[in-house]
Amino acid sequence: MRFGSQIAWLFVAGGALSSAASSSNCSLTSSDTDVLEYTWVLSNFLNSFYQTVQLNQSVASLVSNSTSSSKALENLEGIVHADNLTAEAVREVSSQAPDFKEPSCQYTFPPVSGIQSFVKWAYQFESTLSGAFIGAAGYTQSPEVAFLLARLAAEHSAHATWIGSRVNSSMFQANATSLVPAYAPSQVLLKTNETGSLGTYLGDCVSAPKNPCGVLQIGPLEANITSSSAAGSSSSSVAGSSTPLTSASATATATSS
């Protein structure tokens, strides 16, 4: 009898799973294609940046400090390798996105005058990608795209923290009021040379994805959809143009605190 009731329970569990799976359609949409093309460009840009420098013991000794410089070189090479893996992950998920095309980009890179400036830019770009992928996760309704972006954000945050902690001993503050920064796509595409923006380097090869649900207001701790009136394709350009101001200013506050 006990045995029988376990079998009944298994049937119920199986039924619940299959009806949950069929009750909604979680296929990637053209909106996800835009998010993935944007994600691909950011990943590809950072990989291309790393290709422009030669990692060697001199670079490693700058970032080594207490670690041995051969360990530091190993870590830097590991970071470049992991960044290649992120591009591959984007490519694999993109194969499910309708009409995905790798944008064709002509990047410009900031002047790297020496090892010191290479490390500064590597830190800035890793931080920017971490925040950009957190921000992009607010622009999808697909579990698979959200999963990819969460993983990429964690990967780049780890890289940024390691590089940053080599060159700045004060990375975390006890009086901080914000979690790790998050940047809306419109802010990431702004043409400044500050952390959080890459527009200067991307040559306008991708545009900001539009939020399918309204305007995402990014705060220091969480983000809210503040308006659903703009949802839907016909009015989404309105949402797109109002996103920059709200998200960028909210993020700037979060970043500077």
Ligand X SMILES: *[C@@H]1O[C@H](CO)[C@@H](O)[C@H](O)[C@H]1NC(C)=O
The residue ranges that bind ligand X (CB under 6 A) are: 25, 27, 53-54, 56, 58-59, 65, 77, 80-81, 84, 110, 114-115, 118, 165-171, 173, 175, 193, 217, 219, 222-224
Unique residue bearing structure tokens 């984007």: 90
For ligand X, the closer of residues 38 and 50 by Cβ is 50
For ligand X, the closer of residues 1 and 62 by Cβ is 62
Residue 63 phi, psi (nearest 5): -90, 0
- Rounded to a whole number of angstroms, the minimum distance from the CB of residue 167 to ligand X is 6
For ligand X, the closer of residues 59 and 213 by Cβ is 59
Instruction: Identify the CA nearest to 228 among candidates 214, 217, 218, 243.
Output: 214
For ligand X, the closer of residues 65 and 233 by Cβ is 65
- Rounded to a whole number of angstroms, the minimum distance from the CB of residue 73 to ligand X is 10
- Rounded to a whole number of angstroms, the minimum distance from the CB of residue 6 to ligand X is 32
Residue nearest to ligand X (CB): 219
Instruction: Identify the CA nearest to 79 among candidates 131, 155, 172.
Output: 155
Q: Is the dihedral of CA 60, 110, 90, 151 positive or negative?
A: positive
Q: At what angle do helices 236-256 and 115-137 cross, to 10 degrees?
A: 130
For ligand X, the closer of residues 35 and 80 by Cβ is 80
Q: At what angle do helices 143-167 and 30-51 cross, to 10 degrees?
A: 30
Instruction: Report how far residue 40's alpha carbon sits from residue 233's, in angstroms, rounded to the nearest whole number.
Output: 23
For ligand X, the closer of residues 10 and 88 by Cβ is 88
- Rounded to a whole number of angstroms, the minimum distance from the CB of residue 207 to ligand X is 22
DSSP state of 217: E
| CB within 8 Å of 215: residues ≥ 6 apart | 225, 226, 227, 230, 239, 242, 243, 246, 247
